[in-house]
Amino acid sequence: MDSRFKEIAAAVARQSCPICLCQIHHRSAAVVIPCMHAYCIVCIRRWSDVKRKCPLCNADFDSWFSRISFSSRTFQKEQLSARNETKKLHSGFVPSRLRDRLADRRVIRRRREELNTFGSRTRPFPRRRSFDHKGALNPDDITRRIILWRSSIYEERLQAVPFSSKNCLMQHMDNRSTKEKMLQRIEPWIRRELQAILGDPDPSIIVHVATSLFITENTHSTQWCDRNEFLAPLRPFLHERAEVFWHELRCFAESPFSMQTYDTVVEYYSLD
């Protein structure tokens, strides 16, 4: 017992939670079994509702040590109950009929000369897709269709074609009010994207990591040369999809369109 407590104490001491990035306090900590990585118990509990893999090392877990007391050198082991999979939208699931229909509309390979003439366009961008062209669906069904579509972007390794016309907010990111407007713009998009990737209907614990990185990257006083190092805070959550997520975020943020318009006009090409 004493050796186990020492192991738990070492895992918690002077550590920051990899999810919320806040300092871990031993009384509100959870040390995942068997990898012994420490988190805020609130963060890892919400994470465990999405998946039962350690965000740092991807090891499977179904229990953790919590209620840690340094004064009495005690702790408790908490066994997690089984997840209710029917409540979660699996990020990799896209019905084959929907996938085929979306693929026909979405995967558009552009010639280089077409991309180079984007800036001279004077006509409205053509609509590439509609999620309710007959106006017969309720908002929840439309939202579900969009989530499935966004999920298929990552599943099929597609990447958005950037627009040459840019959002004017991107030019004034040092201004406080501009930052607030940009956050209001990108936070709903990030929430939706994380829901599509992770299957989590409320990915709040990760949203602030992505928004903070975006503001940091677009502050003129900050220069990042190493993309792998820059995206490191997102990799425990998004793994190999971090780069595509960041590309998609930048394409939307830099575009002059609202989410609704962007969804209908953005074009994609395959990375394969």
67 pLDDT exceeds 80? yes
The pLDDT value given to residue 27: 87
Q: Cα–Cα–Cα angle for 199, 260, 215, nearest 5°?
A: 70
Interhelix angle 242-254/204-217, nearest 10 degrees: 60
Higher pLDDT among residues 269 and 125, named by residue: 269
Task: Give the residue carrying structure tokens 């740092």.
Answer: 56
Measured CA to CA in angstroms, residue 16 lies from 13, 205, 225, 251 at distances of 9, 14, 25, 31
254 pLDDT exceeds 70? yes
Domains located in the chain, CATH noted? 2-86 (3.30.40.10), 96-270 (no CATH)
Give the mean pLDDT of 110-116.
Answer: 37
Task: Give the residue carrying structure tokens 């988190």.
Answer: 39
**46-60, 166-180, 196-210, 215-229, range with greatest mean pLDDT:** 46-60
Model pLDDT for residues 75-94, shown as the tens digit of each residue: 999 999 886 544 443 334 44
The C-alpha atoms of residue 211 and residue 247 are separated, in whole angstroms, by 14
The pLDDT value given to residue 108: 38
Model pLDDT for residues 206-241, shown as the tens digit of each residue: 888 888 888 888 775 555 557 778 888 898 889 889
Measured CA to CA in angstroms, residue 160 lies from 17, 57, 61, 268 at distances of 33, 30, 35, 4
CB within 8 Å of 134: residues ≥ 6 apart:
none
Measured CA to CA in angstroms, residue 225 lies from 22, 38, 228 at distances of 26, 30, 9
Q: Cα–Cα–Cα angle for 19, 87, 91, nearest 5°?
A: 60
Give the mean pLDDT of 186-214.
Answer: 86
Tokens of 210: 């992505």
Give the residue among 56, 62, 52 at the shortest CA–CA distance from 19.
Answer: 56
101 pLDDT exceeds 50? no
CB within 8 Å of 225: residues ≥ 6 apart:
none
Q: Which of 86-95, 159-168, 187-196 has the lowest mean pLDDT?
A: 86-95
Label residue 36 by pLDDT band (50, 70, 90): very high
Higher pLDDT among residues 33 and 178, named by residue: 33
Give the mean pLDDT of 189-215.
Answer: 85
Tokens of 173: 């990111």
196 pLDDT exceeds 70? yes
Tokens of 206: 């990760």
Mean per-residue pLDDT over the chain, rounded = 77
The pLDDT value given to residue 134: 62
- Chain centre distance of CA 176: 24
Task: Give the residue carrying structure tokens 């026909």.
Answer: 104
242 pLDDT exceeds 60? yes
Give me the percent of the chain exceeding a pLDDT of 90.
Answer: 21
Measured CA to CA in angstroms, residue 222 lies from 58, 167, 174, 225, 231 at distances of 31, 20, 11, 10, 14
CB 248 within 8 A of CB 153: yes
Measured CA to CA in angstroms, residue 271 lies from 32, 155, 161, 200 at distances of 36, 11, 12, 26
